[in-house]
Structure 1
């Protein structure tokens, strides 16, 4: 009887086993055909970051959906590989994708818990789940995962599987893969990691947030100890090595998104160009190395120059008052939160900080910044005008009309300040500041290569992403005059040509029958009589320019401007002489590059070379990068190079603009102490202020104005409101280039002339000046007796008629 029972049980067991096997086979057949192919993993190409680089190779910005830097496993130290294997899959090198013991152990724990609490997945299974399956926690997915893992082990080597795993795995704070994590946490490459650092990274996969070295360092250390213990148990390191590694002091480098804030306008323009050419998916996933023309030192100088110039302008127009008046409770809450933030980023000289007014004495305003005390010396408050210091209660009880011209500043006022000095006791000496409402832009271009070396599109990219250097069309005012003068030079005018600066009136009858009058005038509301072309440009005389434009023809001048590089719609009337045609700073920079480049137009460029993830050059401005010609998927970034004016005209207009700097409205540029050509620009209503200037190797344009157009205020000309930013920038930028003169074409003639008549005089004549002339344009007559009525009546305009 017992034998029958045993036989029956055995039959049941065999039958159950056969049914189980049949069930597994059936399940396998049902599931296997629907699973993704694993042979594609042999060419593992995950999303990787695109980097935008400055001209020296430093990183300006990173673009990515997953921050990953793929590195070959050969670069990974053995300690890193062993740490991950010991922590995640100790039998990785023995099993064939599935560790049945681990799966059984996990299954028992999951049954006890009534749900999935432990995975038991091998590294191979984790790769299968990450790349080929969804992350859902179901037994069906685990079954699929096991099948795929087994298949992967048939197709790939252990080394290949490890390489995929270590480049794919998420390790917290946006870092995918061990290289990105090494950069994130330790600011290192993987090959430079110590055993202690390797063990800390290997502890992260289980729960990257829970064990974050940034947020939970002690938990990360506990996990590190576990990894080191597992490495000892598996024979990878000794007990002594583990103890030394655990005792090693680690420096965690909190890593924000990689970008240079001063270059944000530039990198955003590059990003747009890349997406327009390659598409968003390629830009954010294909790991392009984008080399650009930007010089980081110049860019930082440009951003600082624009910001300081706008702040200086803003201070000239007074203080607008505190940003907010805080109650006692609001002030306490604000300061407590500020104190927490300042512990991670202590204030330093030059930092801008918000401060809460707490009181005052005869010498200073007393403020609080976080948990620190600060003071603002009264002697530095003159720019702010009349301030009325008072308590919160008096402020609340006093009607607004009672303040008159004074600005109320009650206790609790939230003030914008700049750190002047951090004292040894931690207290702060501060200066009162305010964020400007006015905006500015700056563009700097190498005129010979067309490479954009610096670009600032506004006061702060974080506040406004509108790029005024490229997107804003504004009237250039007198900065348009060199284009008119260059056109005149090609029509036979010379720097010595004399034109009468006298009142003129233009009358026009409208369709309605009504007659209108236009009476143009100079900025100073004066007229100066006979004036040479050189003086007319140097002093930015409006009447002179209008008369020249009328003589040479508006259409001729407009077409000439178009040839020089103006792409915006051109006003085809006499107001063109005064800069009525709105242009972008970039357009104006292109035109002045023609003058600086001897008459040759070169199209501006931001990108100089693009390299794909495999190290292959796919785009370049340098033909030498494609010695056999651009192949499939490659392109030469063609720059338009075209002679648009003669070398002689380019030199003469440059020489005239040197006079603008030496004797005229561009006098601030003399501070460079080297040859400089330039031109101020101011619109009649003072809505826009410009300065455009160049040395032989660099052209720069600065603009100042309000986004919603309104006057900058009395006397806020290009010289005052824009030129200081240009000078501050060029003092830094010009240091990158040797001091040299502008190149003089061999055909240029220099002759002594009388500046009053523009005629020849003996070289030793008192008051004679040496003037430059294009071939065939130098005067052949000598100056006559001043008493003769025709002494100045010899050139383009009939002086008696004018």
Structure 2
């Protein structure tokens, strides 16, 4: 019998006393409360904490169970006194339960308060004393005691009634909460205030008399007001709270968020939102990452807008059109593959690929522009031409290596518009990629020129996690360190917003590699920047995809990004990865590796893979007469009078636009009239493009106006003859522009110069 009773006693207590759902709680890296999501049963019940605040512990023991640390789970003296008082009065006047017994009663919800139930509580209380320490039992009580309304536990009560952490409560506040579980109905605002005040002050007086608090503390404590209306819980990072709740619902998660930076950024976002909403731009998101640890320091999923404008949507992980934000990846990929050098001239001329005709934002052309300048100025046409030259599939392979999860289709689905916003991505993946590139460069310079195998890993927001960068290896991950460094050097030159144009004149300003993006139709504005230590990403727009005039990355997103960077500690610029670079002679005018005929060269550090790029194709050796005004050759000039000169020559179409913005560009001098010309002649259409459709404009008088045909010729002094569908329409010399008014329909434009060189273009004319 005894053995059976012992077995029953051993197993009488459930392994888990409390199975109630708990609220989802997130705290900062320094344990401040960032936000809470109410439990599934509608109760504010925080997950159990490991410790009980000392003031509350003292108060609850003095009020409920002075001999808690001495009794075995029940107090015989208290039980005897309670039994005596209840029998003499004929009703239940006094409970006599210890805190251990109250923990058992709280776990056995809905049980009637009978003497038989009290006996079961007593037995279970002694069993609980064998299982847990006194401090653990006290912690169970503090975590599950009712504090009025739908508030359960000391942690939830301290925030709801005093708007602070339980460890920061005063003696009066701790005493108030200590008396509440005994009569939780006293807390209703405006009711029972006198009874609650009496209970609290009686406990404070007891603390004063036993020497726990001094007289001054006692006087100040009884002068404190009682709590009135419950406070709303902090919502400092509400969208991160929702993200955490998807995987860790009902848990307390200590995040990597810096509460100071989060709150300061929240204030910045509110300021910018108040301005943006005047232009009916209602949503924005901000993400800040620590490059070294890959920790999320700030997470703002949306602006403080209203429900109508989808304030609950977390936009950080939502796919949006990328605009130009992918351009640095193409630039880095071409450097990494050895297809480009930073100062290499790339074509910036009217371009058409089938029906696709990219245009620069300002709808002008430079003819030829340095590759790094094409990136820093975010010129569309050069970048599309670079993508075409590099190969769509090759670039797509690099993007997949960056683990951009919203690239769900194959490369041909996106086409060349991939580089201008034809694809979608999200702020999380893009910031991760920029942080990984910065981290790759940092690790290469600090680990004897080696790479980590898992550099492009996901950021973390749970402080209990750490990023595993993998093992050190001599093999690069996605981009080599030199290509990343040269990309960041180019991004550093991006023109800043108007309010920050003179940044480089201030000693306190910091160097930032950054890029903006604007999607088609002004629906998405991006700005992402990185330093050696931090990445800041900003998206601005409307969650429903509505475009707005002025919704441009450099005007809306970039100012927010720079304001956030101003909140962060200043960073030094990246160290140059010399082991992945080599010093070579570069043609100063073209940016290519210098050929023997380049007239002006300079030594530059380039990526190692860049040594396979071709020498400068734009410098040629030209034979001129003594004055230098004419080209000559042995057919018309004595060899002793011929001077060999290096000449910078661009293709005709590039030269046509280049000379408009570069007044010192000198076209080749013409051949002297008595010379036999043997050099190759070239000509190109400036307008219209091949296979393009021309819409004839109409004037105010209703008449259809002509449009202008334009051609660039390497020797403009030659006469060009023009034909439409084999019908001769005129000739030009020096300036090859011709106004025409063809019938609607398809036509073939043919040009023939006086040396017999011919060029054809197919166009469609429409009214």
Establish whether TM, by shorter chain, passes 0.5. Answer: yes
Instruction: Give, in angstroms, the shift of residue 791 of structure 1.
Output: 3.0
Instruction: Give, in angstroms, the shift of residue 291 of structure 1.
Output: 3.5
Distance 2:75 2:650 in 1: 103
- In structure 1, the partner of 2:554 is 719
Change in 2 beyond 3 A, CA 1:193/1:92 = farther
Change in 2 beyond 3 A, CA 1:505/1:70 = closer
Query: Residue 506 of structure 1: SS of its match in structure 2?
Result: coil
Distance 1:495 1:665 in 2: 28
- In structure 1, the partner of 2:197 is 221
- In structure 1, the partner of 2:695 is none
Contact 1:499 1:544 (C-alpha < 8 Å) held by counterparts? yes
Match status 1:653 vs 2:487? yes
Change in 2 beyond 3 A, CA 1:693/1:254 = farther
Distance 1:551 1:622 in 2: 36
Distance 2:268 2:166 in 1: 35
Contact 2:286 2:539 (C-alpha < 8 Å) held by counterparts? yes
Instruction: Give, in angstroms, the shift of residue 686 of structure 1.
Output: 1.6
Query: Residue 678 of structure 1: SS of its match in structure 2?
Result: strand
RMSD over aligned CA atoms reads 5.0
1:324-363 aligned within 5 A: none
Change in 2 beyond 3 A, CA 1:174/1:800 = farther
Instruction: Give, in angstroms, the shift of residue 552 of structure 1.
Output: 1.4
2:61 aligned residue (64, 81, 87): 81
Query: Residue 538 of structure 2: SS of its match in structure 1?
Result: strand
Distance 1:483 1:498 in 2: 19
Distance 2:99 2:523 in 1: 67
1:452 aligned residue (287, 296, 299): 296
Instruction: Give, in angstroms, the shift of residue 684 of structure 1.
Output: 3.0
- In structure 2, the partner of 1:71 is 51
2:435 aligned residue (590, 593, 598): 593
What residue ranges of structure 2 are gaps of 5+ in the alignment?
A: 40-44, 442-450, 623-630, 632-645, 656-679, 686-767
1:466 aligned residue (301, 308, 313): 313
Change in 2 beyond 3 A, CA 1:138/1:663 = closer
Distance 1:59 1:262 in 2: 8
- In structure 2, the partner of 1:328 is none
What is the CA deviation profile of residues 190-210 of structure 1, one whole-angstrom value per residue up to 9, with x for unaligned ones? 79864x666544432332232
1:130 aligned residue (105, 111, 125): 105
Instruction: Give, in angstroms, the shift of residue 108 of structure 1.
Output: 6.2
Change in 2 beyond 3 A, CA 1:524/1:252 = same
Distance 2:422 2:499 in 1: 20
1:284-683 aligned within 5 A: 284=251, 288=252, 290-315=253-278, 317=279, 437-460=281-304, 463=307, 464-470=311-317, 472-489=318-335, 490-507=337-354, 517-568=355-406, 569-570=408-409, 571-572=411-412, 573-598=415-440, 601-610=455-464, 620-621=466-467, 643-661=477-495, 673-683=509-519
Normalised by the length of structure 2, the TM-score is 0.64
Q: Give aligned pairs, total.
A: 592
Contact 2:595 2:615 (C-alpha < 8 Å) held by counterparts? no
Query: Residue 607 of structure 1: SS of its match in structure 2?
Result: coil
Distance 2:118 2:268 in 1: 59
Contact 2:512 2:529 (C-alpha < 8 Å) held by counterparts? yes
- In structure 1, the partner of 2:27 is 53
The structure with the largest helix share of the pair is: 1
What is the CA deviation profile of residues 9-34 of structure 1, one whole-angstrom value per residue up to 9, with x for unaligned ones? xxxxxxxxxxxxxxxxxxxxxx9999
Contact 1:92 1:123 (C-alpha < 8 Å) held by counterparts? no
Contact 2:161 2:230 (C-alpha < 8 Å) held by counterparts? no
What residue ranges of structure 1 are gaps of 5+ in the alignment?
A: 1-30, 112-116, 318-435, 508-516, 611-618, 624-635
Distance 1:93 1:546 in 2: 78
Change in 2 beyond 3 A, CA 1:82/1:45 = farther
Query: Residue 321 of structure 2: SS of its match in structure 1?
Result: coil
Query: Residue 265 of structure 2: SS of its match in structure 1?
Result: helix
Instruction: Give, in angstroms, the shift of residue 518 of structure 1.
Output: 2.5
Change in 2 beyond 3 A, CA 1:582/1:154 = closer
Match status 1:172 vs 2:148? yes
Contact 2:273 2:282 (C-alpha < 8 Å) held by counterparts? yes
Instruction: Give, in angstroms, the shift of residue 594 of structure 1.
Output: 3.5
Instruction: Give, in angstroms, the shift of residue 773 of structure 1.
Output: 1.8
What is the CA deviation profile of residues 563-620 of structure 1, one whole-angstrom value per residue up to 9, with x for unaligned ones? 123222255311112121110011211222233234673323333543xxxxxxxx55
Change in 2 beyond 3 A, CA 1:710/1:750 = farther
Normalised by the length of structure 1, the TM-score is 0.62
Instruction: Give, in angstroms, the shift of residue 529 of structure 1.
Output: 0.7
Change in 2 beyond 3 A, CA 1:184/1:523 = closer
Match status 1:738 vs 2:568? no
Larger Rg: 2
Query: Residue 262 of structure 1: SS of its match in structure 2?
Result: coil
Change in 2 beyond 3 A, CA 1:576/1:61 = same
Change in 2 beyond 3 A, CA 1:740/1:750 = farther
Distance 1:659 1:243 in 2: 61
Query: Residue 246 of structure 2: SS of its match in structure 1?
Result: helix
Change in 2 beyond 3 A, CA 1:100/1:265 = same
- In structure 2, the partner of 1:148 is 121
